[in-house]
Amino acid sequence: MTRDYDVVLYGAGGFTGRQTVEYFARHAPPGIRWAIAGRNRQKLEAVRLQIGAPARSDDVLVADSHVQGSVDAIASRTRVLLSTAGPFALYGTPVVDACVRFGTHYVDITGEIVWVRELIARYHERAAADGTRIIPCCGFDSVPSDLGALLVARHMQEVHGVPCSEARAYFQMAGGLNGGTVATLMHMIKTGHVERGRDVPAPRYDADIGAWTGPFVMAPTNAWIVRRSADLHAQWREPYGREFVYREVAKYGAPLARAKAIAVTAGFALLFAGLRWPPTRRVIEPLLPKPGTGPSVRTMDEGWFTCELLGWSESGQRVRGLIKHQGDPGNRATVRFVCESALCLALDGDALPGGRERGGVLTPATGLGRALAARLRRAGVTIEVPVTTAARAARV
């Protein structure tokens, strides 16, 4: 495709969007043509001047997702569109629609699975026929889970020579919460579009990992994405294994691991119950971060996450893996993941899974796969499958 830009960052005036601009200013390779876009030119110009990139005012593009023609004008000028403008159920569909019609690859940071299902129903067949990759959920939800399950399953097959029957992910993390994430969560709750997990585990001691575990707040989204990846690979005759099962939980370390697991599980249950009931929601909502705001730079830099992975075959072989990132999950990790996903689409076409012809409403594993894993490793993310002694010793 001959386009003016390789990547356009849509939603660049928001809290997460500004971070994508900073990331591209620091890490985009020389020669990549990129621009920023959003609804408010004044905000976008302020971002450009503050960060010093992109260099030209001409690379500031204005588009309102409620005006389809303005979104079309941007999608038609770029090879890849990266969107951080949520809630995506409110603002994302016109952007995806334009990308599908103009053959523009797309990535975002949504965790709104009900909306993703709608995209699949409306756009998967056309995008697949045209070779256009529409890849939602390229942030902390759901890159570690989806790439982790892929790498564990493929290692089981390629090294041990047997299918992978089950994979589990165990998450630990620290960091802050931004207002965009809160706005998306509130919209999902108010519309009843909160994805519910197939099973919500009670706090328990897990002998396989040697630690107390409990429900992980993002598991319903992540598990759905991993299952879609497994289903798509099975359709393409590249299955993970027969009746492949994936689960993920939060892991709690000493001291007082059991008490932490019980307290956090109860705390989240009470919070979500309070947010679902309008009278208590009116009390809680004003206390949460507002759109356009987020944690301090120090909080984001000092945050971290680890995702420990275990995989099993039906015959008993086991694979252990680790994905680890310094920087808080919802901001630093999410920005790195989605920006590298966009760069992967723009620059690594020959290495993408399925070749250049693959398209559809895909997942990080099916649309980016090992090409993204390699790019993230080069960007400083620890991805070890199988886990090495050095990586195990370096766990948080």
Query: Can you tell me the distance from the alpha carbon of 366 to that of 354, in angstroms, rounded to the nearest whole number?
Result: 8
Write out the DSSP string of 220-264.
HHHHHHHHHHHHHHHHTT--S-TT-EEEEEEEEPSSSHHHHHHHH
- Would you state the structure tokens that stand for residue 120, as one six-digit string? 């699949």
Q: What is the CATH number of the domain that holds 51?
A: 3.40.50.720
Q: Based on the domain organization, do 225 and 130 belong to the same domain?
A: no
pLDDT surpassing 90 at residue 135 = yes
| Cβ atoms 167, 149 nearer than 8 A | yes
What is the pTM for the complete model shown? 0.95
Query: Can you tell me the distance from the alpha carbon of 65 to that of 244, in angstroms, rounded to the nearest whole number?
Result: 39
- Would you state the structure tokens that stand for residue 135, as one six-digit string? 């890849």
Residue type, 334: T
Q: Based on the domain organization, do 67 and 158 belong to the same domain?
A: no
Q: Which residue(s) pair with 169 in the sheet? A: 248, 309
pLDDT surpassing 70 at residue 48 = yes
Tell me the CA distances in angstroms from 9 to 83, 215, 393, one per residue in order.
6, 34, 37
Q: Based on the domain organization, do 295 and 343 belong to the same domain?
A: no
Tell me the CA distances in angstroms from 389 to 55, 163, 206, one per residue in order.
44, 25, 22
Strands 304-312 and 245-252: unpaired
Query: Can you tell me the distance from the alpha carbon of 268 to that of 5, in angstroms, rounded to the nearest whole number?
Result: 43
pLDDT tens, residue by residue, 244-285 = 999 999 999 999 999 999 999 999 889 889 998 999 999 999
- Would you state the structure tokens that stand for residue 259, as one six-digit string? 């008490």
| Cβ atoms 96, 362 nearer than 8 A | no
Q: Based on the domain organization, do 253 and 385 belong to the same domain?
A: yes
Q: What is the CATH number of the domain that holds 307?
A: 3.30.360
pLDDT surpassing 90 at residue 385 = yes
| Cβ atoms 184, 87 nearer than 8 A | yes
- Would you state the structure tokens that stand for residue 385, as one six-digit string? 């499958």
Q: Based on the domain organization, do 148 and 181 belong to the same domain?
A: yes
Residue where the block lists tokens 């390789």: 6
pLDDT at 109: 98
Residue 238, domain extent = 143-330+378-393
Cα 211 to chain centroid, rounded? 26
| Cβ atoms 136, 361 nearer than 8 A | yes
- Band of residue 396 on the pLDDT scale cut at 50, 70, 90: very low
Instruction: Give the residue-averaged pLDDT of 209-226.
Output: 96
Residue where the block lists tokens 């993230």: 376
Give percent of the chain above pLDDT 70: 97
What SS3 state is found at 154? helix
Please count the structural domains in the chain.
Answer: 2
Q: Based on the domain organization, do 150 and 86 belong to the same domain?
A: no
pLDDT at 1: 60
Q: Based on the domain organization, do 50 and 129 belong to the same domain?
A: yes
Query: Can you tell me the distance from the alpha carbon of 370 to that of 377, in angstroms, rounded to the nearest whole number?
Result: 10
pLDDT at 33: 97
pLDDT tens, residue by residue, 49-96 = 999 999 999 999 999 999 999 999 999 999 999 999 999 999 999 999
Q: Based on the domain organization, do 195 and 64 belong to the same domain?
A: no
Q: Based on the domain organization, do 270 and 348 belong to the same domain?
A: no
Q: Based on the domain organization, do 95 and 204 belong to the same domain?
A: no
Q: Based on the domain organization, do 13 and 106 belong to the same domain?
A: yes
Give percent of the chain above pLDDT 90: 86
Q: Based on the domain organization, do 91 and 203 belong to the same domain?
A: no
Strands 360-361 and 133-135: parallel
Q: Is 58 exposed, middle or buried (0-12, 13-18, 19+ CB in 10 A)?
A: exposed
Instruction: Give the residue-averaged pLDDT of 356-365.
Output: 96
Q: Which residue(s) pair with 206 in the sheet? A: 211
